[in-house]
Amino acid sequence: MFLLWLFGGLLIRTVSGLQGTIYPFANESIDTPIVSTTSGRFAGLTIRQTNVWIGIPYAASPVGLLRWQKSQPYVKNDSQNDTVRNATYYSPSCPQTIREGGSSGPFDEDCLYLNIWAPHTPPPSTSTGYPVMLWLHGGALQEGSSTQIVYDGLSWTNAAIQVNKSFIMVSINYRLNVFGFFAQSALIDDNGQTIANQGLSDQRMAMKWIQDNIGYFGGDKNQITLAGQSSGSTSVCIHIVSPLSIGLFHAAILESGSCDTVSYMFDKQFAYSTANDLALRVGCNMTDSIQQLACLRTINSSLLFTNAINVSIPLLTSPPFKNLIKLGQVFPFNVILDGIEIPIHPLQAFLSSAFNHVPTLLGANQDEFVLRLLYEEYFHPPINAEDYLTRVLPIATYNQSDIATQYNLSVFSGNYSEAFIALMSQGMYLCAARRMAGYMAEQSTYLYTYNHAPEFYFLSLPTLIVRPGAYHSSESFNLFQTLAPSLYGNQMFLSDEFNLATSIRRYWTNMITKHQPNDDDDNDNMNPIWPQYSSLTDQTIVLDKNITTATFIGIYANCDIVSAGHVKIFGEYLGFNATCAAGNQCFIINSTLSTSTTSQTTSIHFPNMTLSTKVDNA
C-alpha cells in the first residue's frame, strides 16, 4: 500500500507493511513526524501534544524456521534503507482465541511490533531524555494485544505533558499460547539448552530495542520502567528474577500479578507431553523428535492453534497442582520452568534474595474475581454450598485446614459465591502482592490495594461483572482512561470519581518519572503520602474515593496464614522448607533441595554480586 505524505515541503512516499486497523485517533493528526531507527525510517502522527508511531517491528518475524525460536533482532533489508514506512496502522495481533471485548484482530504469527507515544516537544538539552514506560498487556499469556484501545497511551501521555511530567510510553505484542510458550525435546539452541518461553524472550527483545532506539524518540534508555497488569504483571515479576533482563529496566510496576507461587508454571516434562499430544492431533506423530519438530513447523498457524486449545492436560500429581483442572482452566501451553529464561523457581529466587532489586510499585484489587472472565470462564465457580466445601475449598487451600477455616461459609453468612470471590481474590492476588512487597522491601517498594467499584455504566455492566466491586483490571481504567475514540478521560467517570482517577494517574506517573509515587512539588498537594513498604509497619495505600493509608493485614486479616500455607506447599514441591511468619516475613527454614527439580542452578549472577541459591540449614 502506498500513501503520500506532505511533510516540510517534501513529498515522501511511505510504504506500509502487514497491517491491522488504522490508529483510532489518526484523524486528529496535525503533523507527520519521521524517525530513523534500527528497524528503518517511520512516519507517524502528531496528535494534541504527542507524537505517535504505531506498528514498528522490533523483532524478526517468528515464522517458518523461526517459529518457536527465541526472539531474533529485526534486520531491515536494503530496499528499506531509503524508504519511509507508514507507522499509523496497528500490526496484527498474535494468534489467540477471539473473545468479545478482547483483541479484534486481524491475527497473524507476524505480530512482533510495538507502538510509541512520545512528547512532541524534544526534551530539554540539559536533560538525558524523557523517562520511558514499557507496558506488557495481560491475558493469561493466552490472549490480549497492544492494539486494544483500553491500552492506548495518548490520553495518559498528554496528561503527563500538561503537568510537566512528560514520559514516553511503549506497548508491544508478544507471542502467546502455543506460539509463545512451547517446548519440545528437539527444540534446543546451539549450546544444547532448552528453548521455551518464547513470549518472554519477545518482551526482552523489545527492551533491547528500546535500549538501542528510544533516544531517537527523545527517551532516556537509563530510565525504563517495566509495567504490566495480570499476566503482564507476572511477566514483569519473571524479568525481575531473570539475570537475562538485568540492566534492561530500572523500575517496575506490577498490577495484579506475581510469580512466586504461580499455579501455572510447569516443568519441561509437562511441556513435552503437551507438545507430543499436539503433534498427534495435527499428523506429526513421528518417533524422531527432530522430524516431529520440523513437521510441526510446517503446520498452518490456524490449524495449529485450533488443535492446541484441545490438547490433553497431563496428570498433575504434585501438591501445588493436584486437581487444579477441577478448579479452573489449565492451559496446555504456558510459562515453563526451563532453567534458562527462568533459571530457578521465582519463590526460591525471592527467598534467596537472588533477583534484580529495583524500585517497585505493586498491588492488587479488593474484588479481583468479580470479573466474569475470571469468575466463570477461567475458573469453575461453586454451584452450591456443598460444591464449595467439597471441591473448591480443598483445592484452593491445598488441603490446609488452617486456611480453609478462614474461608468457611459461616464467615460469609453461607454465601458461597462471596466466599469464592474472597478466597480466590486474596489467595491469588492480594496476599501474593503483599508477599512480593516483603521480598523486595530492601529497595524502595510501594504497595497498594485498589478498593473502588467503578460507577460508570459501561464499566459496571452485569455482562462484565458478577456484582459491583473493585474487579480485576479496573484500576487500569484510571491510567489509560480510554474506551473508544469518542469516550475517554473524564467521560469514563462520575464526578465523585475524578479525584481518585487523577490521583492514581499522578502516583503512577511519578513512579515512571521519578521511581517513587509521591510528589516533591508542594504545589501538587498530593494527599496522602504513599508510605514506603516495610514488613515492620506493613503500610499500604488504599485507593478508593477517599484515599487513605492502613496496615495491609488490617484490611486482609487472612494474609499471614494464606502466605505461610502457599510458601510452605511450593517450598516442599521445590525441595526446601519455607514459611511466612506473622508480619509478612517469609524465609527458608532449612534446605533439602531435590536434584530432580528443574529449577536448580548453582548461582545467579547480578551486577557486582554473585548470589548462591544454596541455603544453609538453620
Q: Which three cell numbers stand for residue 466?
A: 458478577
Nine-digit cell at 420?
Answer: 469464592
Extract long-range pairs of 398-404: CB within 8 Å, 24+ residues apart.
398/319, 398/320, 398/565, 398/566, 398/569, 399/319, 400/565, 400/568, 400/569, 402/561, 402/565, 403/427, 403/558, 403/561, 403/562, 403/565
Burial 228-264 (b: 16+ CB within 10 A, else e): bbbbbbbbbbbbbbbbebbebbbbbbbbbbbbbbbbb
Closest CA to 41 of 79, 3, 1: 79
d(CA 299, CA 305) in angstroms, rounded, equals 10
d(CA 211, CA 46): 23
Active site residue 230: yes
End-to-end CA distance of the chain: 67
Which H or E run includes 42? strand 40-43
Helix, strand and coil content of the chain, in percent to the nearest 5, comes to 35, 20, 45
Per DSSP, what are the bridge partners of residue 119? Answer: 50
Nearest CA among 184, 183, 196, 345 for reference residue 263: 345
Residues near 250 by Cβ (< 8 Å), separated by ≥ 6? 222, 223, 224, 225, 358, 359, 515
- Contact of 358 with 252, CB cutoff 8 Å: yes
Catalytic hit among 93, 230, 352, 591: 230
Which amino acid, one-letter code, is at 274?
T
Q: How far apart are CA 345 and CA 337, in angstroms?
A: 7
| Phi and psi based region of residue 584 (left: phi greater than 0; alpha: psi -120 to 50; beta: remaining) | left
Q: Decide if 212 contacts 38 (C-beta within 8 A).
A: yes
The CA–CA distances, whole Å, from 432 to 322, 377, 436, 617 equal: 20, 22, 6, 26
Active site residues: 230
